[in-house]
Structure 1
Amino acid sequence: MGLGWFGAPEHNRWLAEETHALLRYARGAAVPAGFGWIGQDGAVDTSHPVELWITGRMTFAFSLGALMGIPGCRRYADHGVRALRTVLRDHVHGGWHSAVGHEPDGQGHGVPVEAQARKECYQHAFVLLAAATATAADRPGAHDLLLEATAVQDRYWWDERYGLPVESYAADFTDPEDYRGINAAMHTVEAYLATADVTGDVKWLERAVQVIDFAVNVQARANEWRLPEHYNSAWRPVRDYNRDQPAHPFRPYGVTPGHGLEWARLTVQARGALVARSLPVPDWMLDAAESLFDRARTDAWRADGAAGFVYTTDFGGSPVVRERMHWVVCEGVSAAAALRRALLDDGRGEINVELYEHCYRSWIDYAEEFLITDPGVWTHELDQDNQPSTRTWEGHPDVYHALQMTLVPRLPVWPCLGQALAEGRLDKPESAVPVHAQQPRRRGFFGR
């Protein structure tokens, strides 16, 4: 099988250097109201407001940096926590504004952007993820932010009727949108897994597994592992949604193979959390994650003959939008690493490990050749000839996907990144000891 890259000192050195470079580059996003959209020149693009999802992702990123002991990251993590607790928080209706102006008002509150006034599940998921990770990093105010974020999730975003999240509301939490999206549900799962690890409250894990069961075991399985993205309010698929906007940045038409890769990673992470807690593990989870990965790989990688993943396909697997998004490669690398680790942890290391190692190497080589223009600087979109494109994205909005790609191969499947770093598991990727056999964990446990 060869020596491989996983665990090789020089490969881990490359990953670490890119981690540091990404966090250095991300510092340029800091603005008084939170974190702004990084433009093509590396400076904040003030034509974009300060958006909640970017501030949440950057707070998450710098909290990970703080956990690794990278100097300077603590103050940027703290800046993000303060912005989420004050500037971006809706002090009238609760929850958080989707977007505010770059300068707070005289009271330190954000000035909401009317065109983005609706409150969104997708954006609130990143508040929860940031709060959980900042709590793992023991940042000032993070504990209170997490308490508020979990309360908002319980009150507004978790729909007990379906066991799935609501998509969006008007600013005052009235007028719920008829649409439901798998993208918002996916990032809610990510946030719930992190929250379960940090708080020790199994409710968040149970909810995450419930959403994964619907998305992966029901919807993806029923569609030959091509996961429908769009649904009505009763969670029935709407297959022709946005047919006239196929390259929409958040709700593109058809199937998004990158999300298949992301769901594969989240599925094995949730499975790892169940195993670690000695909870019942559905027998479909690992096989389903492999099926998702394989479908995304075969449909989207080099689908038109050129290197790279196409952005979207139709329900037969034919390319629709042929642009190459940096985040899809990042999620492919992370999924390959997580699946390989999960198989080894499960004692099935002889099955498909070489496939995942091959994909991992190929996709990192692709990123190095086409996406990384300088250390920490990633082109976020390429056309089908692997030349820079701005059809969907302009500039370099944030470092969230790339940063995770540099860390997932160095960490265990469980716990999630923040708690794993808090427990000193960097470069110790083997399965964590089951919770019932552990001493109380470092940091982040409420009431312990």
Structure 2
Amino acid sequence: MITRIDLRGRALDTDQTDPRALVPRAELDVEAALAVVRPIVEDVRHRGEAALIDYAAKFDGVELTEVKVPAAALAEALERLDPQVRAALEESIRRARTVHRDQRRQDTTTQVVPGGSVTERWVPVDRVGLYVPGGRAVYPSSVVMNVVPAQEAGVGSLAVASPPQKEFGGLPHPTILAACALLGVDEVYAAGGSQAIAMFAYGYREAAEGAEAQGAVVCRRADLVTGPGNIYVAAAKRLLKGVIGIDAEAGPTEIMVVADASADAGVVAADLISQAEHDPLAAAVLVTDSEQLAEEVVKELETRVAATKHAERIREALAGRQSALVLVDDIGAALVVANGYAAEHLEIQTRNAAADAAKVRNAGAVFVGSFAPVSLGDYLAGSNHVLPTGGCACHSSGLSVQSFLRGIHVVDYTREALAEASDLVVALANAEDLPAHGEAVTARFEERQG
């Protein structure tokens, strides 16, 4: 069911070993997907809502008359929401707000010299498009994870897009609509895939009669787009980066569990299965120094996969090249593998879990001990579940309040402070053969006639 990789006896922490190559990942050809999404993006750019309606029919099998979700549909979805699900969403929102509120940045003023200061102001982006996928599963939790940090950052204009569902008359899934209503988001669009990203990048107007006529703006273009999606969403983000800001090109979900003999094999297997449930390309990796644990986990996988709902999808994910049981000499070696792999989700289930977790440098999120499963982080830990995949955790962070803020430097110098720096500015400007840069300073001290 799952590949075994034996790294015992290998020197993993030398310059001769690339730890990134120790555990394979799923093969994703985003470049090939670009060829598919490029004409879709251009079509949405030029035809706006008409193109979005056509793609809803082509890809989602629904006939839309408009893409924007009516306010009444949001209110109705919230009214009909299962009370237990509502309670869970409300608590998820509360916990996420608690964590993300503490991430707010404060403006900082530094007095560089007497009369000369630099202030770093933290300013939210003006408008954000938040993408919530829909396909094999429903993700109201992704509404929470996208919206809460944007709201806590102070973003003034938020819009959500999620694919239209044939089962619900062309609207996004009602649980997604209800989550939007709970969060006070009233601008929601029934649009999925690359066409949704293009909609946020370019916006669209109402249809109007006459070739030159332009109706009122329905969806304003966004400054930033966040949220996970399939390979076509990732390709559209890559194509449109620069037209809009993006959070990341999200790939398939992944979990790595670092465990020793003290770990419960059933718990480890359940956690691997939980992420394999997402997608046939999902990665589930166990790194352990206990061969006995590895063998017990294999047995648990066989039993638990057979008993779970999405067994076929899970088996495909576990059998893929991206999933493995990795044997190492000790937990120190396991952490070398983990830091090289830079997992989206990294669980540490060892005797000294907190100390071992403190040695992790590369991960989207770290889950410490037997009672902090990834599933908790998906919904109710208070952390964000929009995290870097594909090894990007070695240089990128998960979604946070910071994702929606820009730092702006405000420079304030008096005449005397500039005069003190004048000769040094001129020296550096001349060293770079840019004398006009220096002249822009000295001009301020020239004596002018009349």
TM range (shorter): under 0.3
- After TM superposition, the score normalised by the length of structure 1 is 0.26
More strand per residue:
2
Higher relative contact order (CA 8 A, sep 6+): 2
